[in-house]
Structure 1
Amino acid sequence: MNHDRHLHNDDDAITDAAAHWCMRLHEDDCSSAEREAFAQWLAADPRHAQEYHAMQEIWQTADLLPRNEAVVTPFPVAPRAARTRQWRPLASAAVITLLALPLAGWVGWEQGWLPNHYQRFESEGQVRQVRLSDGSDVELNLNTQLRYLNFKDRRQVTLVNGEAFFKVKHDSEHPFIVQAGHGQTRVTGTQFNVWKYQDQVKVTLVEGSVLVSSNSKDGGYRLGPGMQASYRVGDFEPQLAQSGDYANALAWRNGRLVLDNLSLSQALPVINRYLNKPLLLADANVGRIRISGIYSTREVNRLVDNLPKVLPVYLTRSKDGSTVLNRILPSPGRG
Structure 2
Amino acid sequence: MSQQHLTEAEYDAITDAAAQWCMRLHAADCTAAERQAFEQWRDAHPLHAFEYEAMQEIWEVADHLPRPPTATVLPLAPRRSWRAYGMAAAISALALPLAAYSGWSLGWLPSSYEHFQADGSMRQVTLADGSQIELNLGTELTYSNYKDQRRVTLKKGEAFFKVSHDSAHPFVVKAASGEVRVTGTQFNVWMYEDQVRVILLEGSVLVNSDNSRPDGGFRLDPGMQARYRRGDYQPQISQTYANDSSLAWRQGKLVLDNLALGEALPLINRYLSKPVMLADSATSNIRVGGIYDVTAVKSLVTTLPKVLPVYLTRNQDGNPVINSLPGTAPKS
TM-score by length of 1: 0.73
Q: Within 2, Cα distance between the matches of 1:112 and 1:222?
A: 25
Asked if 1:261 corresponds to 2:238, the answer is no
Asked if 1:199 corresponds to 2:199, the answer is no
Deviations 1:230-257 (A, max 9, x none): 1112211111121143641110011100
Q: Within 2, Cα distance between the matches of 1:198 and 1:160?
A: 9
Q: Within 2, Cα distance between the matches of 1:319 and 1:29?
A: 33
1:164 counterpart residue number = 159
SS at match of 1:58: helix
Asked if 1:179 corresponds to 2:174, the answer is yes
2:228 counterpart residue number = 231
2:315 counterpart residue number = 318
1:120 counterpart residue number = 115
Deviations 1:71-91 (A, max 9, x none): xxxxxxxxxxxxxxxxxxxxx
Q: Within 1, Cα distance between the matches of 2:175 and 2:326?
A: 39
Conserved 8 A contact 2:206-2:218: yes
2:63 counterpart residue number = 63
User: Which range is displaced more, 275-284 or 46-55?
Assistant: 46-55
2:102 counterpart residue number = 107
Q: Within 2, Cα distance between the matches of 1:119 and 1:298?
A: 26
Shift of 1:319: 1.1
The runs of 5 or more residues in structure 1 that have no matched partner are 1-12, 31-41, 67-91
Distance 1:216 1:112, change over 3 A: closer
2:71 counterpart residue number = none
SS at match of 1:271: helix
Distance 1:48 1:277, change over 3 A: closer
Conserved 8 A contact 2:65-2:109: no
Q: Within 1, Cα distance between the matches of 2:327 and 2:197?
A: 36
Deviations 1:155-187 (A, max 9, x none): 000011111000001100000000011100000
Q: Within 2, Cα distance between the matches of 1:50 and 1:285?
A: 42
Q: Within 1, Cα distance between the matches of 2:99 and 2:285?
A: 61
Amino acid at match of 2:116: F
Amino acid at match of 2:203: G
Root mean square deviation, CA, Å: 3.4
SS at match of 2:222: coil
SS at match of 1:231: strand
Q: Within 1, Cα distance between the matches of 2:196 and 2:106?
A: 31
1:144 counterpart residue number = 139
Shift of 1:258: 0.6
Asked if 1:221 corresponds to 2:218, the answer is yes
SS at match of 2:299: helix
Q: Within 1, Cα distance between the matches of 2:99 and 2:61?
A: 22
Amino acid at match of 1:60: E
2:237 counterpart residue number = 240
User: Which range is displaced more, 112-121 or 239-248?
Assistant: 239-248
Conserved 8 A contact 1:169-1:188: yes
Amino acid at match of 1:107: S
Shift of 1:134: 1.8
Q: Within 1, Cα distance between the matches of 2:231 and 2:21?
A: 31
Conserved 8 A contact 1:20-1:97: no
Within-5 A mapping of 1:36-51: none
1:89 counterpart residue number = none
1:273 counterpart residue number = 270
Shift of 1:227: 1.1
TM-score by length of 2: 0.74
Conserved 8 A contact 2:133-2:160: yes
Conserved 8 A contact 1:205-1:227: yes
Distance 1:300 1:95, change over 3 A: farther
Conserved 8 A contact 2:19-2:52: no
Amino acid at match of 2:309: P
Q: Within 2, Cα distance between the matches of 1:309 and 1:136?
A: 44
Q: Within 2, Cα distance between the matches of 1:96 and 1:24?
A: 20
Distance 1:115 1:95, change over 3 A: farther
Asked if 1:251 corresponds to 2:251, the answer is no
1:36 counterpart residue number = none
Conserved 8 A contact 2:262-2:284: yes
The runs of 5 or more residues in structure 2 that have no matched partner are 1-11, 31-41, 67-90
Amino acid at match of 1:57: E
